[in-house]
Amino acid sequence: GIQVEQSPPDLILQEGANSTLRCNFSDSVNNLQWFHQNPWGQLINLFYIPSGTKQNGRLSATTVATERYSLLYISSSQTTDSGVYFCAASAVKETSGSRLTFGEGTQLTVNP
Amino acid sequence: GAGVSQTPSNKVTEKGKYVELRCDPISGHTALYWYRQSLGQGPEFLIYFQGTGAADDSGLPNDRFFAVRPEGSVSTLKIQRTERGDSAVYLCASSYGQGSEQYFGPGTRLTVT
């Protein structure tokens, strides 16, 4: 099946700093999503982005499908941005359903 | 509108017991997924329903695990003869269909003692 790799595994920032999280995937995708998992375990949808660029406030994401990677940008980070960020992808050649394969996540800590 | 809901939020059971976990998807979503997340890892796929039928159950770890979706809406994940290794957070997600954005519920934390 598809492989999804995220980097870095851990990231520590000072409040106000910018950061870039990377997601590499091993196959053509029909679904790529970025999630933020809050301290209570809820997966919050950030972006649905199998290709192209999207922006939502201080967050933006870019997926270059032909080169099989996606980037999540966080600008002017805040302490509330802390948590685990997951990238998840589904391969075009999956026979059914678009099951998501998750990366190992990036643990982000934003210090005041 | 209402998101995906899961009950119970927490379940503690003894080794060998039977448990049922419920998922109520977003209204109108025909696709429903179950995932399992162990501590410190990303969620892993278990089973996918399109309508009432299990279209892909290749992620179920063994035959102690079974899931149903009899009316194409609510789904129940059933685990027989629970083992301590089954302890995890069980997540449900739903979407409009193949390739569409998936939305996750808050999860059920299962602890097998």
Residue B1 has pLDDT above 60, yes or no: no
Residues A44-100 pLDDT 10s:
999 999 999 999 999 999 999 999 999 999 999 999 999 999 999 998 876 666 899
Distance of CA A12 to the CA centre of its chain: 16
- Give residue-wise pLDDT tens across range B23-73: 999 999 999 999 999 999 999 999 999 989 888 999 999 999 999 999 999
pLDDT score of B55: 87
Candidates A35, A10, A19, A23; CA nearest to A109 is A10
Which residues lie closer than 8 Å to B67 by C-beta, 6 or more apart? B34, B46, B47, B49, B54, B57, B60, B75, B76, B77, B78
- CB of B47 closer than 8 Å to CB of B67: yes
d(CA A56, CA A60): 6
pLDDT at A95: 62
Structure tokens at B73: 């809406």
pLDDT at B97: 84
Burial of residue A74, with CB atoms counted within 10 A of its CB: 0-12 exposed, 13-18 middle, 19 or more buried: buried
Interchain contact A95–B (C-beta under 8 A): yes
Q: How many CB atoms lie within 10 A of CB B77?
A: 23
Q: Are A53 and A61 in contact (CB under 8 A)?
A: yes
Are B61 and B45 contacting, i.e. CB atoms less than 8 angstroms apart? no
Q: How far apart are CA B45 and CA B91, in angstroms?
A: 9
> Chain A closest CA to B42's CA: distance in Å?
5
Mean pLDDT of chain B: 95
Q: Cβ distance B109 to B86 under 8 Å?
A: no
Is any Cβ of chain B less than 8 angstroms from the Cβ of A103? yes
Q: What per-residue confidence (pLDDT) applies to B98? A: 79
Q: What is the pLDDT of residue A98?
A: 81
**Helical (H) or strand (E) element with B107:** none
Tell me the backbone φ, ψ of residue B86, rounded to 5 degrees: -80, -10
Contact of A14 with chain B, judged by CB distance below 8 Å, is answered with no
Taking CA atoms, B69 is separated from A26, B24, B28, in Å, by: 32, 10, 14
- Cβ contacts of A100 on chain B, cutoff 8 Å: 33, 35, 43, 45, 93, 102
Which residues 46-75 on chain B approach chain A with CB closer than 8 angstroms? 48, 50, 55-56, 59
**R_g of chain A computed on alpha carbons:** 14
**What band does A101 get if pLDDT is binned at 50, 70 and 90?**
very high
* Bridge partners, residue B62, by sequence: none
CA separation for the pair A45, A30 (Å, rounded): 17
